[in-house]
Amino acid sequence: MRKIYTSLFLIIFALNIFGVDFSLRIDENINSIKPYQGFTFKVTHTFKGFNFLAELNAYNDDKYNLSGLENAFYEGYYFYMKNGGVSIDFDNYKLRFGRLQHYDIVDSPYSLYISSKGLSSVIIDFNYEDESFFYETRYIELNRQSQLGYKDRGANFKTYGLKIGNFRFAYEESAVYVNTAFDIEYFLNVIPNFFVQYVNISSGKPWYHGYNANSIMGFMLDYKDEGHYYYAQILVDDINANRILNPDAYQNPDKVAWSVGGKINMKYGAFGLYNAGATKYTFQPSGDGTNRYYGYTYYPNVDINDKTIPNEENYIGYYNGENNIAFMTTYENNIKNTNIRGSFEYVISGSKSPANPWGEYATWTEGGQGTHFLDDEILEHKYDFNLKVDYTFYGLKIFNGMNLRYTKNKLELVDTAASDNYDMKMFKPSNKDEFYYNFNIGVEYRF
């Protein structure tokens, strides 16, 4: 680690000469699984609409199986690039690119199209907004030249919106495509993704190219003034049209998600109330079981070297995924130099299969007719309390955090049924209960 500290000192010294801000954060986490430490090194520079951001993290939480290099030279720490990119603001036009945290257009812990967890990915994001109209197109890299055998995958998120007074109404959509990490037309073409996909993969035309894609679409409506924010959002992965067109035929499942809520600013802080949920099979890969790379996830898998990839770090969109209903209350307040953030969440979940088409079944016809929602014999019940308090004085910021979580019938990775030959695991409620706690103490100093 001595070489790292020496290099960091030289970098800090050089950057401060050119007016670049530097901050160092150290975190200590004491929890019921494994205490761990974290270091965050951040460099920022802003000038006339140009924003430069580099944020590098180092953790020793044993989340992943480390390579020999990390154990030999970095004392069990692995590096994580949370942010490394540039944003350019031209008033009505904004452009962001690099490996960056990114979010949905709704201000909610339960956003559906882009996770509220602020996951990092290589993105290119163009945003336009005027007094009555807004448009956004965002490329999201999923997998590129994977050493784990994942196929190249990419995604594109688009928003078309209108502004009327304090209201915004928008059509939102996303597409996940496979066998290429970046399809430029999904990003540049302003025509909705469904038509881009349909036109380009229809054979017999001279412009025929590309690969199939999995598209999701829906709408949002929100309202904002000085003291209030309210919103509603819906996502449609698939709708059972047979109930109208052919009621006597097989009724395939509806695959939909919803999110509603808002917050009110009051004398003693801001209070929020939110609800969200999704039916079974939403966000999963679609098809007959062979198209398992088209899921709405960053990785087409749920584990690596016997280490589980947490759902909230894999879903591109709504972090609770499919087959659940969730409720959350929040509280926010700023008192002088102190920021307070708290939340309580209750989630009921059934089985989930982020990477395996149709869960434990080999084909879409095996799972039974119609829509499925929380119809498992056993369901997971999760109660999650979070509190974060930070205090700033003379450039020094002190963080305190607490997370208490009780889970009944905790979701666990299991092998799928014998009829499924795709060698992919899924999450199912178990007969195990778990109480988890984590206490965080952190210090950040800005140079």
Cα–Cα dist 114/111, whole Å? 6
Q: What residues does each domain of the chain span? A: 1-84, 91-446
Quote the pLDDT of residue 6. Answer: 52
- The CATH number of domain 91-446 is 2.40.160: yes
Task: For residues 235 and 106, give the distance between their C-alpha atoms in angstroms, rounded to a whole number.
Answer: 13
Q: Which of 347, 114, 373 is nearest to 240 (CA)?
A: 373
SS3 96: strand
Distance, in Å, from the CA atom of 139 to the CA atom of 122, rounded to the nearest integer, reads 8
Q: What is the pLDDT of residues 194-248, one digit of tens each?
A: 888 888 887 777 877 777 888 999 999 999 999 999 999 999 998 887 788 788 7
Query: What element of type H or E holds 193?
Result: helix 193-201
pLDDT at 132: 97
pLDDT under 50: residue ranges of the chain:
1, 5
pLDDT at 204: 76
What local confidence, expressed as pLDDT, does residue 200 receive? 82
Cβ–Cβ < 8 Å for 401, 440? yes
Instruction: Quote the pLDDT of residue 192.
Output: 93
Q: What is the DSSP string of 4-28?
A: HHHHHHHHHHHHHHTT-EEEEEEEE
Question: pLDDT value at position 318?
Answer: 98
pLDDT at 170: 98
Structure confidence at residue 211 (pLDDT): 78
pLDDT score of 65: 73
pLDDT score of 210: 74
For 243-253, b where at least 16 C-beta lie within 10 A, e where not — what string?
Answer: eeeeeeeebbb
